[in-house]
Chain A
Amino acid sequence: MRAAMPAEARVGHPEPGEPMLSVEGIALRFGGVQALAGVEFTIYAGEICAIIGPNGAGKTSMLNVLNGAYQPSEGTITFKGRTRRKMHPRVAAMEGMARTFQNVALFKGMSTLDNVMAGRNLKMHSNFVACLLPVGPSRAEEARHRAYADEVISFLEIEDIRNVPVGRLPYGLQKRVELARALAAEPDLLLLDEPMTGMNRSEKAEMCRFVLETKARFGTTMALIEHDMSVVMELSDHIIVLDYGRKIADGTPEEVRNDQTVIDAYLGVATEDDA
């Protein structure tokens, strides 16, 4: 079906290996700080792309530019074949981008289930009047999406905390609920900002498993920021290295590991970090 369509129709759905998202000449300033300068890279459909670099390198800023939380002063963002000067968070969500935050941004007063359901809100269309009633189309829609949310919840093995307000959960579990909320949106591109920080070794291992299973099961393209090099090497197909707001390397894990600039700028530091 898809192969028979003209190229135009395929724009929305890059095949594995085709560009999912690419940026060109991205620049971003905060007062005197040049957070990003002339950054360009491409993330290909189906891959896990790690974005690494020392603290303050501009990794989080880059994710914020990708999903429109920040607006770059220069450059373009091309997502699924559409080129823009800037993104908007809601537009990004509508076009299939989901993300998690470095410091967990959950809805703390809401249960795990409600957080995950919130991740599906763009797929729900019941009108206001229908939602006033305890029966009818809005309840049917609600039940359908709750079934999907429960699938995500059991996929991430957080059934036990399904009805617990997430504000009461330990940090490690909150990170997992945040991933669940992002997955509930069935994104094409998932941006993960340090999904494993603050976790112990076994929690990290579990999180790695979930990331790999997500890729295997849903084929989700992922951009992942992570400081732990063993995790990065285990998970990623492609690594982008930022330093002082500039891209200093871009390639396969093998290439990046042996890149002298990267070793000088970051990898030396990273081993100290791990200690």
Chain B
Amino acid sequence: MIVLSYFNDLYGTFFATRSRTINTVFVTVISLLALFAVPTLANEYWLQAILIPFLVFALAALGLNLLTGFAGQLSLGTGGFMAVGAYAAFKMTTAWPEMDIIAIFFISGFFAAGVGILFGLPSLRIKGFYLAVATLAAQFFLIWLFNRVPWFYNDNPSGTITAPPRTFAGVMVTGPEAAAEVRYLVALVLLAVFVFFSWNLMRSRFGRAWMAVRDMDVAAEIVGIPLLRTKLLAFGVSSYLCGVAGALFVFLYLGSAETIAFDVNVSFLVLFMIIVGGLGSIAGSIIGAAFITILPIFLTNLNPILGIDLAVDIAKHIEVIIFGGLIIVILILEPHGIARLIAITRERLRI
């Protein structure tokens, strides 16, 4: 609850109203680099092992942040909602092989949205930790369901779902033959599209209604905001994004997956990202995802660079300790997350 009471009031570091031009320049430069420089410069390992999972988790973090950071509804069902998207995409691609893969990504989110709205229904009555427990139940139920009913994985004896080779505009996007650059670009563009929509949405009456419900639901009701409808919309939009992220997770990153890929650890990981990055900040979702996915890899590579020779298992433990320690340091420095930390630094430096 302490965490929930600390919210970023800004729409995000990149989008702080203070200096629009600098933000625009910054976003443009990053976008151009991400679009053109990264795919040519980065090698296969970077794209496959670092950048693609980062983009996928950034999308999931964005989804959860809309629900938890903006609308104030704590959820531990992220993994489950991602699984719904992934299994929906799998069923659709196998049932209708000629269907456009990008369309499938967009549609798969709607299944997750439906499920999310269903499990969001208790949010009218329960709040905070109790709601978190209810969403945790959704998480366990969904994973159980996908394990239990062979129809979801087309009766595959191994119980896995595999991304079949599919194209978009003649280019191979999924399957073993799809190039890492293509998968990276698809993930990048989809993330950019959803960030753009989310940013506008949060500056509209819907975003304000979500934040009002988050900050004081009694007052939200007396200004006429319909509580249930507002919360359910937040669950729907959030789960939609998580669902698309889940589909991308399997189709662009893992290639094939079992339910374990979406277990409760994923829910916690994504929650972690938005807390570290900044609750109620769109930029914070992306920063948090970058931090959580990239830092461990950086730490792994630190040892060889420094020339310290450690046994593999000890090195791994030290990594985890440093990782955990850094997160604690950041949260002590600034409970509103890295996004706020950057905003404050910028304010001090007047840029």
* Chain B, range 200-258, C-beta contacts under 8 Å to A: 200-201, 203-206, 208-209, 211-212, 214-216, 218-226, 233
A67 to B222 CA separation, bound complex (whole angstroms): 8
Cβ B204 vs Cβ A119 within 8 A: no
Interface size grouping (class) on chain A: 35 or more
Q: Closest CB of chain B to A222's CB: distance in Å? A: 16
**A165 partner residues in chain B, CB cutoff 8 A:** 9
- Digitize B176-214: 1 where CB-to-A-CB distance is under 8 Å, 0 elsewhere: 000000000000000000001100110111101101101
| A138 to chain B: closest residue by CB | B204
Which B residues lie within 8 Å of A99 (CB)? 222
Q: A121: CB under 8 A from chain B? A: yes
B7 in contact (CB, < 8 A): yes
Contact B223 A119 (CB under 8 A): yes
Asked whether, in the complex, the Cβ of B222 is within 8 Å of the Cβ of A124, the reply is: no
Is B12 an interface residue when CB atoms closer than 8 A count as contact?
A: no
Are A121 and B215 in contact, with the CB atoms below 8 A? Answer: no
- Whether B9 contacts A185 by the Cβ 8 Å rule is no
Q: Mark A164-192, 1 if CB is under 8 A from B, else 0.
A: 01010000000000000100010000000
Instruction: Decide if the interface of chain A is mainly helix, strand, loop or mixed.
Output: mixed
Give the docked Cα–Cα distance between A117 and B211 (Å): 12
Q: Do A110 and B218 contact each other (CB < 8 Å), given the known contacts A131-B200, A131-B205? A: no
Flag whether B17 is at the interface (Cβ < 8 A).
yes
Is B277 in contact with chain A by the CB < 8 A criterion?
Answer: no
The residues of A that contact B214 with a CB separation of less than 8 Å are: 107, 109
B337: interface (CB < 8 Å): no
Residue B284 at the A interface, CB < 8 A?
Answer: no
Q: Is A90 an interface residue (CB 8 A)?
A: yes
B222 near A132: Cβ-Cβ < 8 Å: no
| B222 touching A92, Cβ below 8 Å | yes
Q: Hey, which chain B residues are within 8 Å of A107, CB to CB?
A: 211-212, 214-216, 219-220
Residues from chain B with Cβ under 8 Å of A126 in the complex: 204-205
Q: Cβ of B208 and Cβ of A132 under 8 Å apart?
A: no
- Partner of A69 from the list B8, B196, B206, B222 (CB cut-off 8 Å) is B222
Which residues of chain A come closer than 8 Å to B220, judged between CB atoms? 107, 118
A138 to B206, CA, bound (A): 11
Q: Is A134 an interface residue (CB 8 A)?
A: yes
Separation of A98 and B218 alpha carbons in the complex (Å): 13
B208 touches A94 (CB 8 A): no
Least distance between B28 CB and chain A CB atoms (Å): 15
Closest to B194 in A: A132
B280 at the interface (CB under 8 A from A): yes
Is the pair A93, B224 in contact by a Cβ cutoff of 8 Å? yes
Report B-chain residues with C-beta under 8 Å of the C-beta of A122. Answer: 223-224
Give the chain B neighbours of A18 by CB distance below 8 A. Answer: none
Bound Cα distance from A60 to B271, whole angstroms: 40
User: Bound state CA distance, A16 and B192, in angstroms?
Assistant: 55
A89 interfacial contact with B, CB 8 Å: yes
Q: How far is the CA of A109 from the CA of B212 in the complex (A)?
A: 9
Chain A residues positioned under 8 Å from B209 (CB to CB): 118, 121
B-side contacts of A69, CB under 8 Å: 218, 222
Cross-interface CB contact of A181 among B200, B218, B221, B223, cutoff 8 Å: B223
A117–B224 Cα gap in the complex (Å)?
12
- Bound complex: CA A232 to CA B212 (Å): 32
Contacts of A124 in B (CB 8 A): 205
**Residues in B whose Cβ lies below 8 Å from that of A90:** 221-222, 224-226
A110 engages B204 (CB within 8 Å): no
Contacts of A142 in B (CB 8 A): 203-205
Question: Do A128 and B219 form a contact, CB below 8 Å, given A109-B9, A163-B17?
Answer: no
Whether B219 contacts A101 by the Cβ 8 Å rule is: yes
- Of residues 38 to 65 in A, which have CB atoms within 8 Å of B's CB atoms? none
Q: Determine the distance from Cα of A142 to Cα of B203 in the docked complex, in whole angstroms.
A: 9
User: What distance in Å separates the Cβ of B312 from its nearest Cβ neighbour in chain A?
Assistant: 45
Q: Which residues of chain B are near A94, meaning CB under 8 Å? A: 224
Contact string against B for A residues 109-147, beta-carbon threshold 8 Å, 1 for contact and 0 otherwise: 111001001110110101010011110001000100000
Listed from nearest, the 5 A-B pairs whose CB atoms lie closest are A93-B224, A131-B204, A107-B215, A105-B219, A122-B224
Q: A93-B222, A122-B223 are in contact. List 11 more A-B contacts (CB 8 A).
A: A69-B218, A90-B222, A94-B224, A99-B222, A109-B211, A110-B9, A114-B208, A118-B223, A121-B223, A126-B205, A138-B205
Instruction: Please report A residues at the B interface, Cβ cutoff 8 Å.
Output: 67, 69, 89-90, 92-94, 98-99, 101, 105-111, 114, 117-119, 121-122, 124, 126, 128, 131-134, 138, 142, 163, 165, 167, 181, 185
Q: Would you list 17 pairs from A and B whose C-beta atoms are within 8 A, ordered by A residue? A: A67-B222, A93-B224, A99-B222, A101-B219, A105-B219, A106-B215, A107-B211, A107-B212, A107-B216, A110-B9, A110-B212, A117-B205, A121-B224, A132-B197, A138-B204, A163-B17, A165-B9
